[in-house]
Amino acid sequence: MTFLLPCECGCCVPVTAVMAGMTLPCKCGRTVSVPSLLELRQLPVEESPPDAVDPSPQQTAAVELREFYQHLRQVTPRVWVAPAVIVVNFLVFAAMTVQHGNIDDGSVEAMLLWGANYGPLESQGEWWRLITSAFLHFGLVHLLMNMACLLGSGPVTERFLGNAGFAVLYFLAAVGGSLASLGWSPNVVSAGASGAICGVNGALIVILLRSRNTIPPAVYQFLLRGPVLLLGFVLLAAFFVKRVDHAGHIGGLVVGLLAGVALYRPAATGPVQSRIRRPVVVLLVGFMALAVAFLPVRARVSEAPDWIMGFAQLERLESEAIAIHNAEYGRVKRGDITELQFAASIERDVLSRWQKASTQIGGWANVPDQIKSLVDKLREYYQAMEKSCELMVRAIRVGDDQAVRQSDAWRKKADRLADELAVEMKKLEK
The domain limits of the chain are: 2-46, 81-302, 307-429
pLDDT given for residue 240 in this prediction: 63
Q: Does domain 81-302 have CATH number 1.10.620.20?
A: no
Low-confidence ranges of the chain (pLDDT < 50): 48-54, 268-273
Sign of the four-CA dihedral 181, 118, 153, 75: positive
Q: What is the pTM of this model?
A: 0.73
Let me know how long the chain is: 430
pLDDT given for residue 55 in this prediction: 52
pLDDT given for residue 424 in this prediction: 77
Determine how many CB atoms are found less than 10 A away from the CB of residue 23.
Answer: 11
pLDDT given for residue 54 in this prediction: 47
pLDDT given for residue 399 in this prediction: 83
pLDDT given for residue 21 in this prediction: 63
CB 118 within 8 A of CB 166: no
